[in-house]
Amino acid sequence: MKYLLIFLFMALALSIMAEDILTLQGNATQGGILVGKVSSRVEKIFLDYQEMPLADSTFIIGFDRDSKLRHILTIVMQNGQMETTEFCLTKREYETQRIDNIPPEYLEDPKDKDVIDRIERESATLKKTRERIYNNQNIYLDNFTIPVENGRVSGIFGCNRILNGTPVSPHNGLDISAPLGTEIRSMATGIVALTGDYFYNGKFVLIDHGCGLSSIYIHMSNIYVEKGDYIICGDKIGEVGCTGRSTGNHLHWGISWKGERIDPALIIKQNNIFFKLSSIVGTD
């Protein structure tokens, strides 16, 4: 019996020693996101000395189009032990997209006071909703999928745009052209945070995926969900249209993490684990 107990103790210790304290899965590049998993013995984790919310031992990190390349992760174990490690993102180069013959009214700022007041109200509502999303420490996502099948990519993330010869701000989402009425599906599991029919967005759906991550689907012709609905990855949420400031039938698909704009083209390429940390185990 004594030798059996010793054997069982040694087997348990080896199992603990083999446990990965941290794994990061995703795209370590500007415009990418990383989904992290930590051991149950991790109490806190920090990115660049800012604490990240942990939900079911999972956390999300997002990087903007022009995010800095060098980052620092700090892990705090339940026994107080700390480990700090660095990682670097891949720098990206962005294309220039030129589009001419756009009707001038689509590029000019509205002059009508009622329209301006409407835009300000809608902007304020979106801002408040996004602030709630950024502070939500729950997590819902599991898998990722593309919202529109067999569409044509007509606008890529991050590109420097020149419209009718005038430079404008970089594109912050992915445009997918498709026939009117084409199904739009949620890219991941989440909760519908807001829907509406806004001046610029037209009919849209904003989904909260937890831990600061959200996705938005713009210029819809029809919406099939309501605020507060729990949506599973791949559920139909609406149809492609040309509402709001749009010159043709397409989906503008945007992703944000705590205000950082994420490249949707990378979101379904999340399967590679690029980083594991298991060096601080078995020290309790």
Residues 6+ apart with CB under 8 A from 237: 184, 185, 186, 192, 205, 207, 217, 223, 224, 225, 231
Q: How far apart are CA 203 and CA 249, in angstroms?
A: 12
Residues 6+ apart with CB under 8 A from 101: 164
Q: How far apart are CA 175 and CA 251, in angstroms?
A: 6
Is 140 buried (19+), middle (13-18) or exposed (0-12) by CB count in 10 A? buried
Predicted pLDDT of residue 11:
32
Predicted pLDDT of residue 117:
96
For each of the domains in the chain, give its residue range(s) and CATH number, in order of start: 2-92+269-277 (2.60.40), 96-267 (2.70.70.10)
Predicted pLDDT of residue 179:
97
Tokens, residue 237: 């949420």
Predicted pLDDT of residue 166:
81
Q: How far apart are CA 209 and CA 59, in angstroms?
A: 12
Is 205 buried (19+), middle (13-18) or exposed (0-12) by CB count in 10 A? buried
Predicted pLDDT of residue 141:
85
Predicted pLDDT of residue 7:
33
Predicted pLDDT of residue 130:
97
Predicted pLDDT of residue 13:
32
Predicted pLDDT of residue 6:
34
Contact 240, 249 (CB under 8 A): yes
Predicted pLDDT of residue 20:
84
Residues of the chain with confidence (pLDDT) below 70: 1-18, 279-284
Q: How far apart are CA 241 and CA 215, in angstroms?
A: 18
Q: Provide the 8-state DSSP code for 55.
A: B
Backbone angles phi, psi at 32, to 5 degrees: -100, 170
Tokens, residue 168: 């404008």
User: What b-and-e string marks burial along 3-34, b requiring 16 or more CB atoms within 10 Å of the CB?
Assistant: eeeeeeeeeeeeeeeeeebbbbbbbbbbbbbb
Predicted pLDDT of residue 279:
58
DSSP, residue by residue, 168-203? -PPP-SEEEE--TT-EEE-SSSEEEEEEEEETTTEE
